[in-house]
Structure 1
Amino acid sequence: MQTADPSDTVIERPSDLTPEWLTAAVGAGTVTAFTSERIGTGQMSECYRIGLTYADGRDGPATAILKVAATDPMSRQTGLALGLYEREVRFYSEVAPRLGGPIAQCFHTSYDPETGIFALLIDDAAPAVVGDEIRGATTEDARLALTELGRLHAPVIGSDTFAEADWLNRESPMNQALITQLYAAFIDRYGEAITPDQRMVCQRLVDNFDAYLAEETAAGRPKGLVHGDYRLDNML
């Protein structure tokens, strides 16, 4: 079977995959067949577990995870505008090799800054299961999650390289005017589900959001890499 250069093929959906492409991307032997299963509940992107079958009983990863941009045009445009896709792709290609913690091996990255089309093919943690932030976590799982977050952040605290990287430090589109609108919609929907004390804390943050951002980004403040979306639904 002839292998293909992964960079020659645009992967937007699992249907774009071929055994030849997977053979070249994973690099663990000739892939003869594969399966695809949607996992997770991402809004800005979609994840699929790709099952791999190899020729001649070769011993390669049994599964891999494919992550691509959301099918929904509005979600995709939001992910593109916020720089989420670029940051995720560049994290795996430029940052992950310097970090500790259980970070998945990355087989392939691609990103089109014009369309928002991106693809990540990474190692799977099967048989681990996706977390559920509605159900919650055990104390043991929560402690493990915080420990691994520390291993992720610690190696690059104070890194001049990342502090000066444009793609990590662009001005945030989030400001007090926008968060005021978002909070109003949140209160309309969930206001009865939170306590007066919780509502007071939220309102104080909203009312002082621009000042909070200015303080957090002031010169001399410690700089570090922040995960940005560390929640159970994003964990295995």
Structure 2
Amino acid sequence: MTRAADGDVGRPGIPTAVDDLTASWLSELLRSEGHDVEIVSLGVEPVGSGQMAGSFRLIPTYARPVDLPPTLVAKIAIGDRSQREFASGVFRNEVLFYRRLAPTLSAPVPRCHASALSVDSTEFVLLLEDMAPAVQGDQIAGCSPEQALAAAIAAAGMHAPRWCDTTLLDLPGLSLPTHDDRVLMDSVLEPMAETFRARFQLSGRPAAAVDWLVATGGEWLERRPSRFALIHGDLRVDNLLFGPDGSVTIIDWQTITVGNPLRDIAFLLSTSLTVDDRRAHERDILLAYHRRLGALGVTDYTFDDCWSDYVDSLIQAPMIIVFGCGAAMPTERGDRMFTTMLERAAAAIDDLNPTALR
């Protein structure tokens, strides 16, 4: 199979429904990645709760012993053609991550055994390591300070290896924001925020946080960061798997971008910890994250700089919440999740006063 930068040439019929994940198709995909394999039967069960992509645990029966685990997780594009066209950029991002970026990082991520991507990025398949018995976090319940600490240290393994690495900007879809990006954001932010306000009837600190986002989001987006790295873009407890031994695995790499790495940490702590836990533990977690960056080779970056970047990056939370809510199909759980996240993030913004940095 010949592989193009943005898609696979010559692989028709990439499945977009679980019934199309057949033993023969998966066998061919795995053989294209160098596995001498023939799957004779296949068990499938759903895992996760993705809206734009579906994840399924595969239980294959092989014709002969293979160098593969007894189960795999398949992630595929789902939905009709228009939905997949809308999400094609994030599909491309996740395949790009596993093919070209994950091997360069020290972050705990599932191993990718095989992948396929259509030329227009509307169809994809990832065959990933099954991380069971690790379980997905619950955004509404939040996480413990110990779990947030483990996630922040894991994130340092994502940020440090590509710290201020300009070669990231050569990859498709990865770039620092431009003035044109700000113009686009300014054109859509107020209407999306107004819809969000009306939907949730905001008041108090949450309303103030959304107002602050609208007033300052464009300027913040355009301001070139003094340091940058590959960032997850949606680092929160729903996108983490926690093992029984306390280990953490980062999943759902569809929103990768290049930016100030503290955007990930600010979003994680401000939306995934209770307000009381964040107030009690955020500085210690930042200290541990900063120490891990240093251990992985990041120099000339003081803790004061790290703290300042953390506070300045708190705007990531209302931005992702407002845009994420606008893009997602409304559900009861989704509404509870967005309001819970905003209430937590608004408290952090009120406590730490990011405007004082400007």
TM-score by length of 1: 0.83
Aligned residue for 2:221? Answer: 213
1:233 equivalenced with 2:238 (yes/no): yes
Look up the SS of the partner of 2:156 in the other structure.
helix
Q: How many residues align?
A: 224
Partner of 1:3: none
**Partner of 2:60 in structure 1?**
52
CA distance in 2, matches of 1:164, 1:58: 37
The alignment status of 1:186 with 2:196, answered yes or no, reads yes
**Residue type of the alignment partner of 2:195:** A
Task: Name the CA distance, whole Å, in 1 between partners of 2:156 and 2:206.
Answer: 27
- Report how far residue 24 of structure 1 moved: 4.5
Displacement, 1:28? 6.5
Work out which of the residue numbers 155, 164, 167 in structure 1 matches 2:161. 155
The TM-score normalised by the length of structure 2 is: 0.56
**Structure 2: gaps spanning 5 or more residues:** 1-9, 242-358
Determine helix, strand or coil for the equivalent of 1:127: coil
CA distance in 1, matches of 2:132, 2:200: 35
- Letter aligned with residue 99 of structure 1: L
CA shift for structure 1 position 88: 0.9
Match of residue 129, structure 2, among 123, 147, 157: 123
Aligned to 1:197: 205
Contact 1:40/1:46 (<8 A) preserved: yes
**Alignment partner, residue 20 of structure 1:** 24
> Whole-Å Cα distance in 2 between the matches of residues 115 and 55 of structure 1?
32
Equivalent residues of 1:54, 1:60 under 8 A apart = no
* SS, match of residue 96 in structure 1: helix
- Kindly, what percent of the aligned residue pairs are identical? 29
Task: Say if 1:50 and 1:64, in contact at 8 Å, map to a contact too.
Answer: yes
* 8 Å contact kept, 1:37–1:49: yes
Give the alignment's Cα RMSD to 1 decimal. Answer: 2.6
Greater displacement, 103-112 / 70-79: 70-79
Q: Which residue pairs with 2:101 in the alignment?
A: 95
Assess if the C-alpha contact under 8 Å between 1:49 and 1:65 holds in 2: yes
Question: Could you say which residue in structure 2 is the equivalent of 1:43?
Answer: 51
Which of residues 74, 90, 105 is equivalent to 1:66? 74
Alpha-carbon offset, residue 76 of structure 1:
2.1
Asked if the contact 1:49–1:63 (Cα under 8 Å) also holds between the matched residues in 2, the reply is yes
Q: CA deviation at 1:191?
A: 3.0
Q: Which residue of 2 aligns with 1:134?
A: 140
2: CA distance, partners of 1:114 / 1:56: 35
Q: CA offsets per residue over residues 107-157 of structure 1, 9 Å max, x none?
A: 222222436111111111012122221222222222212221111121111
Is the CA contact (8 Å cut-off) linking 1:100 and 1:152 kept in structure 2? yes
State whether residues 48 and 65 of structure 1, in contact with CA within 8 Å, keep that contact through their aligned partners in structure 2. Answer: yes
Q: 1:203 & 1:39 partners in 2: Cα distance?
A: 37
Q: Indicate conservation of the 8 Å contact 1:69/1:85, yes or no.
A: yes
Tell me if structure 2 keeps the 8 A contact 1:52–1:63: yes
Which protein has the bigger helix share?
Answer: 2
**Offset of 1:48 from its aligned partner?**
1.2
Unaligned runs of 5+ in 1: 1-5
